[in-house]
C-alpha cells in the first residue's frame, strides 16, 4: 500500500500536495517538509458530547481563579489561572521560561494543589537541581516527569489527576502514531490539539512552553497560537537583568498586559516599580536623553530614550534602533528633516531604550524626536521633564489616551514638568501638582525644551 504524504511549511503551517522550493503563503525558502498522512484514527481524550442550547439559557459560573502569588504573573494572566485553560509561554532560548513556570507552579503546589511538571529536555535530576537553585524543591505535591511520548504523559496525568500541568517543551513532545519527527509542524499541531482536549475535558490548566525561531515566531506552527487560550511572550535582552512577560492573546483577560521581572541567582524576582527601575541609572547632564511616558496594557511606564547623533564617517549614514520600531524611527527622522529643518541626513543616528525594554506605542514619538534633536544640538533636556505625544507626518503633536495615568506616574516619581499635546488639555483640568505644558507641533516642544 502506497503511503500518502503532504508537504507542510515549518514557518506558517501551509499545506501543499507537492514539494515547493518557496512557500506560497509566507514566501520562505526551503521550509516545506514531508509528513506522512496517517490512515487510522487515534484515540484521544475528549469531553462528553453536548447539545446546542439557547444562549439565554446558559448558566454562567463564577469560578474563582487560581492565584500563583506572583503578582506580575497573575496580572498578565488577567487575575490568575483559569481551570481548564491552555496557555502557551514562548521566548528566546535561555530567557527564563522554564524558571518562571517552575516558580509559579511551586507556589501553586505550596497552596495544596497538585502539579505535574513534564520536561522533555531535562532529566528529573536536572529538574531537581534547578528547583533547589530557586528554592522550589520543598513540596511533595509538585511532581516531576521526564517524558516526550504524549501517550505516556496522558497516562501519568490520568493516574495523578493534577490541577495544573506543564509540558516543557511542546517541540520535544510527539505522538507515536504520527510518522513525522518531534518538533515538526504536524507533531506540534496534533500535540497541541491533543492537550487542548485534555484541558477542556478534564478541567486541568495546562501550560505549554514553546521555543522561538530566528525569525522571532513560535517554532513550528503558528496554528498553535489559535489553539490555546492565552499566549504569553517572555522577552528581554540576555545582557540585561530585566525580563518582560507580555500577553498577546487572552480569552480571559486584557491583551498587551505586561509583567516585569528581574533575573537573579534565585530565579525571576518581581519588580514592584518598573518605572523607577528603568530610570535609576539615568544621567541628568547628558544630551540625547529624554523620558517618555508610555502605557503597556493598563500599566503606565516611564522609560528613558537615548539618542546619539554623530557625523557619518562613511558614505552611507547608519540608522540603528534598539527597543523602538525601525520604520517608525525612519518616519520621525523624515519629520525632523522636512518639518523642523534639522539637517541629519549625513549623520549616523542611534536610538536606544534603556533597560532592554521594547516600546511600540506612538505616544513615545515625542520622546524620540526630542532626544535626537538634543543629541544633534548637544543641549541636554531638563531631567525633571517628561514627554508625551504622538508625532504626525506634518509635524503636529497628536493627542494620546490615558493621559491622567501617565501624569500620575510621572508625579509619583518626582517629575515637575510634562510636555503634552494641546488637544489632551483642551477643556480639562487635573488635580495634580505637576506642571503641564501643551504644544501643538514638534517645533514648539523643541523651543520649550532646548
What is the CATH topology of the domain spanning 277-449?
Answer: Ribosomal Protein S5; domain 2 (3.30.230)
Name the DSSP class of 87.
E
Which residues, at least 6 apart from 270, have a Cβ–Cβ distance to it below 8 Å?
Answer: 70, 71, 72, 259, 260, 261, 262
Is pTM, for the whole model, over 0.85? no
Which residues of 1-102 form beta strands (DSSP E)?
A: 5-9, 15-16, 32-36, 86-91
Contact present, 447 and 397 (Cβ < 8 Å): no
Per-residue DSSP letter, 401:
S
Q: Write down the pLDDT at residue 26.
A: 83
Domain limits of the chain?
Answer: 1-37, 66-271, 277-449
* Res 186: pLDDT: 80
Q: Residue 277 has which C-alpha cell?
A: 527601575
Q: How far is CA 347 from the centre of its chain?
A: 33
pLDDT confidence of residue 335: 97
pLDDT of residue 391: 97
CATH 3.40.50.720 fits 66-271, yes or no: no
pLDDT for the residue 2? 46
Q: Which residues of the chain have pLDDT under 50?
A: 1-2, 40-43, 46-47, 221
pLDDT at 77: 93
Residue 104 confidence (pLDDT):
95
Q: Write down the pLDDT at residue 42.
A: 46
pLDDT for 43 equals 47
Angle, vertex CA 341, rays to CA 338 and CA 347, nearest 5: 90
Quote the pLDDT of residue 183. Answer: 82
Amino acid at each position: 500500500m502506497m503511503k500518502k504524504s503532504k508537504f507542510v511549511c515549518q514557518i506558517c503551517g501551509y499545506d501543499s500536495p507537492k514539494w515547493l522550493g518557496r512557500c506560497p503563503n509566507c514566501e520562505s525558502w526551503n521550509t516545506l517538509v514531508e509528513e506522512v498522512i496517517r490512515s487510522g484514527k487515534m484515540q484521544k481524550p475528549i469531553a462528553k458530547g453536548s447539545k446546542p442550547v439557547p444562549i439565554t439559557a446558559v448558566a454562567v459560573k463564577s469560578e474563582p481563579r487560581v492565584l500563583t502569588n506572583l503578582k506580575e504573573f497573575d496580572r498578565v494572566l488577567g487575575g490568575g489561572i483559569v481551570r481548564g485553560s491552555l496557555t502557551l509561554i514562548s521566548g528566546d532560548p535561555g530567557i527564563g521560561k522554564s524558571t518562571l513556570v517552575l516558580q509559579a507552579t511551586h507556589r501553586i503546589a505550596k497552596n495544596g494543589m497538585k502539579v505535574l511538571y513534564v520536561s522533555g529536555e531535562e532529566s528529573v535530576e536536572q529538574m531537581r537541581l534547578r528547583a533547589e537553585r530557586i528554592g522550589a524543591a520543598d513540596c511533595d505535591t509538585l511532581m516531576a516527569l521526564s517524558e516526550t511520548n504524549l501517550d505516556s504523559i496522558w497516562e501519568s496525568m490520568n493516574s495523578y489527576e493534577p490541577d495544573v500541568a506543564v509540558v516543557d517543551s511542546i517541540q520535544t513532545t510527539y505522538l507515536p502514531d504520527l510518522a513525522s519527527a518531534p518538533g515538526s509542524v504536524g507533531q506540534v499541531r496534533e500535540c497541541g490539539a491533543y492537550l487542548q482536549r485534555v484541558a477542556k475535558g478534564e478541567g486541568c490548566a495546562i501550560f505549554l512552553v514553546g521555543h522561538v525561531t530566528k525569525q522571532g515566531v513560535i517554532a513550528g506552527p503558528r496554528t498553535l497560537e489559535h489553539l490555546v487560550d492565552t499566549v504569553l511572550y517572555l522577552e528581554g535582552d540576555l545582557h540585561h537583568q530585566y525580563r518582560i512577560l507580555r500577553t498577546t492573546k487572552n480569552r480571559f483577560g486584557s491583551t498587551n498586559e505586561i509583567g516585569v521581572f528581574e533575573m537573579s541567582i534565585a530565579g525571576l524576582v518581581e519588580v514592584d516599580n518598573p518605572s523607577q527601575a528603568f530610570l535609576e541609572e539615568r544621567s541628568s547632564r547628558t544630551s540625547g536623553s529624554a523620558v517618555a511616558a508610555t502605557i503597556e496594557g493598563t500599566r503606565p511606564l516611564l522609560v528613558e530614550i537615548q539618542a546619539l547623533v554623530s557625523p557619518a564617517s562613511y558614505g552611507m549614514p547608519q540608522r540603528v534602533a534598539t527597543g523602538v520600531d525601525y520604520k517608525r524611527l525612519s518616519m520621525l527622522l523624515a519629520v525632523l528633516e522636512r518639518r523642523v529643518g534639522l539637517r541629519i541626513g549625513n549623520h549616523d543616528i542611534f536610538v536606544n531604550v534603556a533597560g532592554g525594554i521594547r516600546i511600540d506605542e506612538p505616544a513615545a514619538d515625542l520622546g524620540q524626536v526630542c532626544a535626537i534633536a538634543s543629541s544633534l544640538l548637544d543641549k541636554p533636556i531638563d531631567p525633571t521633564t517628561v514627554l508625551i505625544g504622538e508625532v504626525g507626518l506634518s509635524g503636529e503633536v497628536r493627542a494620546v489616551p490615558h493621559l491622567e495615568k501617565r501624569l500620575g506616574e510621572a508625579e509619583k516619581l518626582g517629575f515637575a514638568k510634562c510636555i503634552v499635546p494641546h488637544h489632551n488639555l483642551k477643556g480639562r483640568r487635573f488635580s495634580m501638582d505637576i506642571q503641564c505644558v501643551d504644544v501643538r507641533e514638534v517645533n514648539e516642544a523643541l523651543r520649550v525644551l532646548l
